[in-house]
A and B are shown apart, each in its own frame.
Chain A
Amino acid sequence: MNTTAFSLFLGIVAITLIITYFASKRTKSTSEFYTGGGGLTGWQNGLAIAGDYMSAASFLGIAGSIALAGFDGFFYSIGFLVAYLVVLYLIAEPLRNLGKYTMADMIAARFDDKKIRGVAALNTIAISTFYMIAQLVGAGSLIRLLLGLDAVTSIVIVGVLMTIYVVFGGMTATSWVQITKAVLLMAGTFIISLIVFAKFNFSLTEMFNHLKTATPLGEAFLNPGNKYKVPLDTLSLNLALVLGTAGLPHILIRFFTVKDAPTARSSVVYATWIIGIFYIMTVFLGFGAAAFVGADAITAQDKGGNLAAPLLAQALGGDFLFAFISAVAFATILAVVTGLVLSAASAFAHDFYGHIIKKGTATEKQQLKAARWASVGVSVLSIILALFAMKLNVAFLVSLAFAVAASANLPVLVFTIFWKRFNTAGAITGMLTGLISALLLVAISPSVWDPAGKAIFTGEALFPLTNPGIISIPLGFIGAIIGTLLSSKSDIKKYTEVMVKANTGI
């Protein structure tokens, strides 16, 4: 075991526990639990959004994909960033003005209906759980490789930590863990990128020239088409990436942590700068790993290329840099799963318990208690699911989460804000068609079925694309439209109120 890595891991655990200790003193009410009291500045929330968003899949996954497949790996970086324009232009401000604690709050601001709240909460839980299983399974194999702990122990450690942060520190702890992680991740990536760039004498031309001959792909490395060979699948992936972010519940709840819509706006702008700079640096990580570690050495450690970034750190800066980058990866995982636990727990406690079971009559004390128990429940469930899924290839669950978010949530969020005629029936059919079609299409896709047994089941896939977005996203919109038109109900008066609130915050 690498002792530096081990002590840095302990250091991160210590910092986050100290944050949680102080946060717990400030978490006495439901509002503090769900939103941290709504007092973050735009800059702080921007960092927290970045910390919530840039998962290990981004940091390790994209670096590995670029190192192994060149240009195609960069598609994720672009999609993950441009997605923030959808958040900024269409969603962030109306969401802040209409919602209170959860995504369902915003839709319920227009349609005060238990069924809608229930379906919206179900989507939140589904998306957060898929995402979390992928992160936890990834955490297991990562920590095993970095620290030598076995995968079960690693998953349990990460699971216990995320539970502690959320149960005791609520949103305040979550925000500051995410801010800490964002700073560490940016620092770590910047250092590596700088060293890589220096090795090429700070010349992009020299770097690109070198990469033409440095990999087994030869000149093709720099061209698109090494990884994504089916055009429709590429488009489908890109569609889910760019539209999914604006429907991810754990990102959406971050907008309730600021005081008003203009602050929500400025936090997206800060986040977009940070996230954009980070994704530009993924090119340096990927190219660096391809040039200084080499494709063979990367795949020898992990077939998916997930260790490209830590291996690059070792090649450039020896054991210390390796330990530091490994610790950054650990912090990255912790911050993301913490945000996911909180979003799923708030859907359980605020939407299901508070509004559907208790019909809004629960006392402050009962609500807070429910929120804490829901967090424990969500964590335990995810840990168990992750332990079962440990041996499976679950990387596709991240893109599934984006596809469900884009298909089930985004159409309804957009129509709630912009479409006058939209009604309860449309919201329910839209969310359900989006959710069910995305899940079904993935269940019969090559991510789940492979004739050679490389996926979960052995056999031919019925649906040819790995990403369902290109079918399920239009279906989500069409479902919402058809549901609306088939029902004669429409409530123009309520829309007037929602329109005024969404746009002015009055």
Chain B
Amino acid sequence: METKPDYNRISASQNFKQLMLKKKRFLFPMTLFFLVFYFLLPVLTSYSKVLNEPAIGPISWAWMFAFAQFIMTWALCMIYSRKSVQFDKAIEEIKQEAAGRKQA
């Protein structure tokens, strides 16, 4: 029979606290960043004409900014994948710690 893991002890462990802190420090600033980056485009196109200026030949800054949204999305995907390798390692340690305690 599998017993229920001791969630209180896991959440109180140093490893888990560290993981949560690291995640928070990564997720919240990044989320804020991409939301601001995203809304900057409709805000600028709705309330100003600055993006109508040409950037490269006939292509205006509005299009450059629009394409930059794609680059930003892919870049943040890669950054997240990389960062989560660290998180996965920490999670593995927490799991082993929890399993070790159960056996003992």
Contacts and interface: CB of A to CB of B under 8 A. Distances in A.
B55 to A, nearest CB: 10
Interface string B45-87: 1110001100011111011001101101110111011001000
Contacts of A500: 5, 7, 10-11, 16
Contacts of B84: 262, 265
- Size category of the A interface is 35 or more
A238 B95 CA distance: 40
A78 B66 contact: yes
Contacts of A209: 57-58
A223 B11 contact: no
For the residues of B in contact with A, the DSSP-based class is helix
Contacts of A496: 7-8, 11
Contacts of B56: 205
A212 B62 contact: no
A231 interface: yes
Given A84-B73, A265-B84, A499 B45 contact: no
B66 A506 contact: no
Nearest to B49: A223
B69 A205 contact: no
Contact of A504 (B62, B72, B95): B95
B60 A234 contact: no
Given A272-B73, A276-B74, A223 B60 contact: yes
B66 A235 contact: no
A234 B47 CA distance: 11
B8 A493 contact: yes
B23 A503 contact: yes
A71 B63 contact: yes
B59 A208 contact: yes
Interface residues of B, number: 49
A324 interface: no
A98 to B, nearest CB: 13
Given A82-B73, A265-B81, A276-B74, A238 B62 contact: no
For the residues of A in contact with B, the DSSP-based class is helix
Contacts of A12: none
Nearest to A232: B46
A493 B10 CA distance: 12
Contacts of B39: 235, 238-239
Contact of A503 (B41, B52, B91): B91
Interface string A214-238: 0000000011110010010011001
Contacts of B20: 499, 503
A85 B70 CA distance: 11
Contacts of A493: 8
Contacts of B74: 272-273, 276
Interface in A81-114: 81-82, 84-86, 88-90
Given A85-B34, A503-B19, A71 B81 contact: no
A497 interface: yes
A242 B59 contact: no
B46 A234 contact: yes
Given A235-B43, A238-B38, A500-B16, A222 B63 contact: yes
A504 B58 contact: no
Interface string A181-213: 000000000000000000000001100110010
B60 A89 contact: no
Nearest to A79: B38
Contact of B58 (A208, A228, A265): A208
Given A208-B57, A222-B60, A503-B20, 8 more contacts: A85-B77, A89-B30, A235-B39, A242-B38, A269-B81, A496-B11, A504-B10, A506-B98
Which 10 pairs between the two chains have the least Cβ-Cβ distance?
A: A231-B46, A224-B45, A208-B58, A497-B7, A205-B57, A238-B42, A209-B58, A496-B11, A500-B7, A504-B91
